[in-house]
Amino acid sequence: MDFVCIEARLAIEIDGYWHAARRQKDEARTIYLEEQGFAVVRFNIEETTNVESLAEAIAHEASRRIRR
């Protein structure tokens, strides 16, 4: 997990080419986090090069989950 917002129960994963070899570990971690009540959102850094839009997407998802 790269970032977490406890209040929103949100885990953020920033993925890239290096995650191809770790797919099983990533999937197991996602299942575990979801069982603990966290939503897991993954961003592929190779597809998302604009850091500002990435930060906005993370903030939007956290805000959305906090308002529930």
- Total-model pTM: 0.74
Say how far apart CA 14 and CA 29 lie, in whole Å: 14
Say how far apart CA 43 and CA 1 lie, in whole Å: 12
Residues in the chain: 68
6 has a pLDDT exceeding 80: yes
pLDDT (0 to 100) of residue 23: 81
pLDDT digits over 50-61, tens only?
788 888 988 999
pLDDT digits over 8-51, tens only?
999 998 877 665 667 888 889 999 999 999 999 988 876 666 78
Burial tier of 30 (Cβ tally within 10 Å: 0-12, 13-18, 19+): middle
Domain ranges for the chain: 3-67
